[in-house]
């Protein structure tokens, strides 16, 4: 069979399993470069392919840009213009995206009509707004997958100035966007409760996290990465912008290397963080690696002795956390990012914004190999039990059933049991 990127004219062979006639026809609104090796784009791709394998006809409606080396295996991709490879996908608002969003709305309406779409499934804020406008004109139900709050992010992009105006607009969007969908799925209990406290009826909400593809890390090759970067036998602490915490580590364990691995290139952010590293006196202990391919992600993670998430007060669900867990790596993180984890069971969790505690947690796991191995093993068990896309998409399928007034497809009690395990 063939997978057809309808707008790009790109035809690639794909091995589809034998499937029954499509149960539902779904329009996935991906208002982002797609496919891409980070965040929402990765989740949309994996969710769409899993739903396709379950027998649904999934149509991803998106921009022309994306990463060429990432395959969409089963879902059909529709683009506003011919495909244009983008190795450095940019996130956040821009003036160019406003015109692209209008084109995306026009394309979505055509796809809904031509493909006889049953449900519009929109992701992120722009996707939800585009989906709401399409809902009004096509009369199709809208499901909004909420992964974040604008009040946590918009000001940080620097697109709207001054910052107080960006924060005011963000608060307005946080209130306004969830009103219009017929149903909302939130990726964390905290995000769901935020909506409830602001007046969204609980019957309109489900907590459904992002997921993982269990086979993704089966062929990791950390030795390849050690050879590529001449790392020899140094202990590796991996990811994100935890420079102040790493300064604590470097004082006590000067031979440890921090690798800052990211799928995106941001010259302004890199300059800012390199300047801080110089001020902290840790520049010689850091390796900056960006961008990297999706193919290399398992090998980079296999290389790490300790993985870290330094984002506090996170209402969404960090996809990198799921990757760390699936890779079977010991995790140190702030409390706000520890979705579905327990301190000293499957992660080392410290209070939000306490960089000293974050650094001491890293030192603890570098020195206590037995504890690190136990946390890593338990983290992998947790992610396989609770975050497999095959289980998560069964819950999404039940939301589709309710939106369309159909009998639910699977065991509801199993869903309740899974949700109970994820509560904080």
Confidence of residue 393 (pLDDT cuts 50, 70, 90): very high
The tens digit of pLDDT for each residue in 98-123 reads 788 999 999 999 999 999 999 999 99
291 preceded by a cis bond (ω within 30 of 0): yes
For domain 214-386, which architecture applies? 3-Layer(aba) Sandwich (3.40)
Domain ranges of the chain: 2-147+181-211+388-422, 214-386
pLDDT at 8: 39
162 preceded by a cis bond (ω within 30 of 0): yes
pTM confidence score: 0.80
The tens digit of pLDDT for each residue in 286-321 reads 887 766 677 777 887 888 899 998 887 777 777 888
Nearest of 128, 21, 121 to residue 400 by alpha carbon: 121
Asked if 311 contacts 156 with a C-beta cutoff of 8 angstroms, the reply is no
For residues 173-189, one letter each, b for 16 or more C-beta atoms within 10 angstroms of the residue's C-beta and e for the rest, the string is bbeebbebbbbbbbbbb
The tens digit of pLDDT for each residue in 35-82 reads 987 778 999 999 999 999 999 999 999 999 998 888 899 999 999 999
DSSP secondary structure letters along 168-202? HHHHHHHHHGGGSSSEEEESSHHHHHHHHHTT--G
Helices 243-252/267-280 angle, 10° precision: 40
Residue 204 confidence (pLDDT) above 60: yes
What end-to-end distance do the CA atoms of the chain give, in Å?
44
Q: At the top level of CATH, which class does the domain 2-147+181-211+388-422 belong to?
A: alpha beta
By DSSP bridging, strand 236-238 and strand 2-5 are unpaired
> pLDDT: is 344 or 240 the higher one?
344
Residue 15 confidence (pLDDT) above 50: no
Confidence of residue 155 (pLDDT cuts 50, 70, 90): very low
**Beta carbons within 8 Å of 202's beta carbon, 6+ residues apart:** 196
Residue 413 confidence (pLDDT) above 60: no
> What mean pLDDT is reported for the chain?
82
pLDDT at 282: 86
The tens digit of pLDDT for each residue in 373-389 reads 999 999 999 999 999 99
Whole-number Å distance between alpha carbons of 211 and 55 = 19
Whole-number Å distance between alpha carbons of 188 and 240 = 21
Whole-number Å distance between alpha carbons of 237 and 256 = 7
How many C-beta atoms lie closer than 10 Å to residue 255's C-beta? 9
Place of tokens 């001054």: 162
Mean pLDDT is lowest, of 258-262, 266-270, 326-330, 399-403, for: 266-270
Q: Same CATH fold, 214-386 and 2-147+181-211+388-422?
A: yes
In the sheet with 25-30, reading across from the earlier edge strand, the strands are 10-13, 2-5, 76-79, 57-62, 25-30, 119-123, 142-146, 183-186, 205-207
């Amino acid at each position: 069979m063939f997978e057809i990127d309808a707008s790009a004219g790109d035809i690639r062979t794909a091995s589809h399993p034998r499937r029954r006639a499509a149960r539902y026809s779904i329009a996935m609104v991906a208002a982002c470069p797609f496919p891409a090796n980070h965040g929402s784009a990765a989740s949309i791709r994996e969710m769409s392919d899993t739903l396709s394998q379950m027998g649904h006809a999934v149509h991803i409606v998106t921009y022309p840009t994306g990463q060429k080396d990432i395959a969409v295996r089963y879902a059909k991709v529709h683009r506003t213009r011919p495909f244009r490879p983008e190795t450095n996908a940019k996130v956040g608002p821009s003036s160019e995206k406003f015109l692209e969003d209008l084109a995306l709305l026009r394309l979505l309406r055509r796809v809904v009509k031509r493909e006889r779409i049953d449900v519009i499934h929109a992701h992120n804020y722009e996707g939800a707004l585009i989906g709401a406008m399409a809902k009004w004109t096509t009369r199709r139900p809208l499901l909004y997958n909420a992964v974040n709050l604008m009040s946590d992010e918009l000001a940080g992009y620097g697109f709207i100035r001054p910052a107080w105006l960006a924060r005011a607009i963000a608060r307005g969007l946080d209130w306004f966007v969830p009103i219009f969908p017929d149903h909302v799925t939130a990726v964390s209990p905290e995000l769901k409760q935020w909506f409830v406290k602001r007046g969204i009826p609980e019957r309109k909400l489900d907590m459904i996290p992002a997921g993982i593809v269990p086979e993704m890390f089966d062929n990791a090759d950390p030795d390849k990465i050690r050879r590529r970067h001449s790392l020899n036998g140094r202990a590796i602490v991996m990811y994100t912008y935890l420079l102040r915490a790493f300064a604590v580590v470097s004082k006590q364990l000067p031979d440890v290397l921090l690798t800052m691995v990211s799928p995106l290139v941001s010259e302004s952010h890199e300059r800012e963080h390199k300047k801080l590293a110089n001020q902290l006196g840790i520049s010689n202990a850091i390796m900056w690696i960006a961008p990297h391919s999706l193919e290399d992600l398992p090998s980079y993670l296999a290389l790490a002795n300790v993985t870290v998430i330094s984002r506090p007060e996170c209402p969404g669900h960090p996809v990198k956390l799921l990757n760390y867990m699936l890779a079977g790596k010991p995790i140190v993180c702030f409390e706000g990012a520890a979705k579905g984890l327990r301190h000293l069971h499957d992660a080392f969790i410290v209070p939000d914004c306490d960089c000293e505690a974050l650094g001491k947690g890293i030192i603890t796991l570098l020195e206590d190999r037995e504890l690190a191995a136990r946390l890593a093993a338990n983290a992998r068990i947790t992610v396989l039990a609770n975050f497999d896309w095959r289980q998560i998409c069964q819950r999404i399928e039940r939301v589709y059933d309710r939106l369309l007034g159909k009998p639910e497809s699977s065991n509801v009690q199993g869903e309740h049991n899974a949700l109970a395990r994820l509560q904080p």
